[in-house]
Structure 1
Amino acid sequence: MPNSLNPLELIARRWQPSAAFVRRAALATVVMAVIIVVTGGAVRLTQSGLGCSTWPKCTPESLTPTHAMGINGLIEFGNRMLTYVLCAFVGLFIIAARARHPRRRSLTRLGWAQFWIVMGNAVWGGIVVLTGLNPYLVAAHFLLSTTLLTVAVLSWQRAGEGDDAPRDVATRPVGQLAWLLVAATGALTVIGTVVTGTGPHAGDAHKVHRIPLNWQEITQLHVDFVYIVVGLTVALWFALRAVKAPATARRRVLELLACIALQGVIGYVQYFLGLPEIVIGLHMLGSTLVWIAVLRVALSLRDRGPLPEDGPADGDAPAAAADGEPAEPQVASASSR
């Protein structure tokens, strides 16, 4: 009965987005995930981390920042409001994925995973404020944003491929090398959050607790992992050439090398210039681009077949055959459920 249908089901009966639209909606969530990381960094680098003194309100008496709070309150509150924009883009992806026929439950699950990560990270951000920018919680806040970016990239990838069982396009050792590269890049990201937690930019003008480690030693460890990632990336490129892997995979490794090189230049610039805020912001942007690139490398080493062909909307009856016999069952639609 139509009255028993949920809103997503009703939309799916009236709107048939193209596969290209679903993929663009997925890409939009990737872009927004990057923006939320960069703007979150801007909050810290402008010393606006406690621009709103509490959560979920901005002050104990006001939901929004007051004039007396100045620019810091506006920056912190603006970053909170950006979460709603992010939710809107995630919601668009969920709706488009649900309305697309044949229905692909894997896409809607990825969309809902993004939504709940956003909600969880919003609450975590509130805890960060309430604990006075505890550096360990700030690091976890960034890593949750990286988790959101990971799911968004996976959604983007899945929106452009089929639902066949994954098939390796290179030998198993090459695939293992690719995932080792992903793991090393993940470790590099985690160490980067520790560098941030020991560094001078605590996120607020007042004294804020820092991670009690030597900043230069942690930075050197971070640099060491950069060399490990570079070495693994170069090794992977030669391995892909040796096994004559598809050109797409080799091209994505070169894209990753370009991102790493740019990020390395930015890293050395910020170190020798004494950590200027604008350069640190660029470094945070670079970290998201490196992570996207390394995920795309690993995901390029599998093939899941072509996208399912367009099928009828849920509940539509198959068209009858011209001679009056029952129509053939919609195999493509059924197999995708």
Structure 2
Amino acid sequence: MERVPNLTRADAVEAVRNPLAFIAARWTPTPRTVQRAALSALVMAVVIVVTGGAVRLTGSGLGCPTWPKCTDDSLTATSAMGFHGAIEFGNRMLTYVLCAAVGWAIIAARSEKPYRRSLTRLGWAQFWIVMSNAILGGIVVLVGLNPYTVAAHFVATTALITVAAVMWQRTREGDTAPRPLVGKPVQQLVWFMVAAAALLILVGTVVTGAGPHAGDSSEVERMPLDWETVSKVHAVLAWIVVSLTFALWFILKAVDAPAGPLHRTRDLFLVLLSQGVIGYVQYFTDLPEFLVGLHMLGSALVWIGVLRVLLALRERSDGESPGVPAQSYAATGSSVTGPS
């Protein structure tokens, strides 16, 4: 068995001053390890969405009535606080698990050889979003679950999912200039779909803010909007996104596009259909908590699916293998060229 080298005083000083550089100098993770680290951060970001939804749907939003402590006298939930205190405090503790996952992604990215600055920056971006959202979560509690702060809290988590999904994708490709796989008209259609999906999610937060699940059993302020009207607007936007996704799949099929964009568009379409079924069922069954929770999970999966379609429109080689020959897509009105 190989002996672990003893740390000198200089090593100890270096480890304290720059622990990431210290680890990177002594450890080289495999590409698969880096990919798994990035995926773990993405998975935990989705888990936080689901558990945050559970806090609201169980009426436990003020289970810990203050922040950063759970109560004025206790850092943690007490037995006297019951079920709601345990749920809210448990969700707070999951933030540390999320931080660990993001930290693991940063360490793995920093230690990869050769060093990829862009990948490490994506990891740090997640860290600062998590820190900012933790503070925002505290503000949500301190202002008594004001619906506008709750909506901002969810939007910040969606931003975290965005960066995590991009990092996961970047761990599986090189750092050369992106080469488009489809023509300009298809790219523009996808960007329009991304914008529609983002608007769909934003309106979804308004539906939540105006709806009946306020997050606590006490009287909580709601957005002064008609919930059913906002829900119908949300449904119309959902149908727009579904229609754009189907149109994109049809066009990609017609122009014999590469398998990557085609398969990811198909996957997104299936997720959207499932999300639509859940949405309509929950609407006509008076919003049962379990279905609302599934719908929140579906929202995260839809957004990840949209991002995966967008990121599939180009490829980046590792710089060691020749690029794929350009293909022409006459039906899109443009052609694919070499690296831009």
Fold shared per TM-score above 0.5: yes
Give the one of 36, 44, 55 matched to 1:32.
44
Q: Secondary structure at the match of 1:62?
A: coil
2:161 is the counterpart of 1:145: no
Identify the residue that residue 292 of structure 2 maps to in structure 1: 280
Give the one of 159, 166, 172 matched to 1:160.
172
> What are the residue-to-residue correspondences of 1:39-188 with 2, within 5 Å?
39-188=51-200
Query: Which range is displaced more, 229-238 or 193-202?
Result: 229-238
Identify the residue that residue 330 of structure 1 maps to in structure 2: none
| Contact persistence 2:176–2:319 (CA under 8 A) | no
Q: 1-side partners of 2:38 and 2:319: how far apart? A: 15
Deviations 1:123-162 (A, max 9, x none): 0000000000000000000000000000000000000000
Count of residue pairs the alignment pairs up? 309
Identify the residue that residue 206 of structure 2 maps to in structure 1: 194
Q: 2-side partners of 1:240 and 1:22: how far apart? A: 31
Q: 1-side partners of 2:268 and 2:231: how far apart? A: 22
Give the one of 233, 254, 257 matched to 1:221.
233
Q: Secondary structure at the match of 1:223?
A: helix
How far the C-alpha of 1:173 sits from its partner, in A, is 1.0
Identity of aligned residues (%): 62
Identify the residue that residue 29 of structure 2 maps to in structure 1: 17
Q: 2-side partners of 1:307 and 1:187: how far apart? A: 37
Deviations 1:174-227 (A, max 9, x none): 011111111100100000000000100000000000000000000000000011
Q: Secondary structure at the match of 2:28?
A: coil
Give the one of 251, 254, 266 matched to 2:263.
251
How far the C-alpha of 1:308 sits from its partner, in A, is 6.9
Structure 2 counterpart of 1:124, one-letter code: L
Q: 1-side partners of 2:294 and 2:78: how far apart? A: 30
Structure 2 counterpart of 1:30, one-letter code: L
Q: 1-side partners of 2:195 and 2:171: how far apart? A: 24
TM-score (norm 1): 0.90
Structure 2 counterpart of 1:294, one-letter code: V
How far the C-alpha of 1:261 sits from its partner, in A, is 0.5
Q: 2-side partners of 1:255 and 1:54: how far apart? A: 42
Q: 2-side partners of 1:158 and 1:282: how far apart? A: 28
How far the C-alpha of 1:243 sits from its partner, in A, is 2.7
Relative distance call for 1:174 and 1:54 in structure 2 (3 A) is same
Q: 1-side partners of 2:163 and 2:299: how far apart? A: 16
Structure 2 counterpart of 1:101, one-letter code: K
Q: 1-side partners of 2:238 and 2:319: how far apart? A: 37
| Contact persistence 2:25–2:111 (CA under 8 A) | yes
Q: Which runs of 5+ in 1 are unaligned?
A: 310-337
Structure 1 counterpart of 2:28, one-letter code: Q
| Contact persistence 1:163–1:308 (CA under 8 A) | no
Q: 2-side partners of 1:245 and 1:261: how far apart? A: 23
| Contact persistence 1:102–1:308 (CA under 8 A) | no
How far the C-alpha of 1:111 sits from its partner, in A, is 0.3
Q: 2-side partners of 1:193 and 1:302: how far apart? A: 31
TM-score (norm 2): 0.89
Q: Secondary structure at the match of 1:47?
A: coil
Q: Secondary structure at the match of 1:48?
A: coil
How far the C-alpha of 1:244 sits from its partner, in A, is 2.1
Structure 2 counterpart of 1:93, one-letter code: A
| Contact persistence 1:162–1:304 (CA under 8 A) | yes
Structure 1 counterpart of 2:100, one-letter code: A
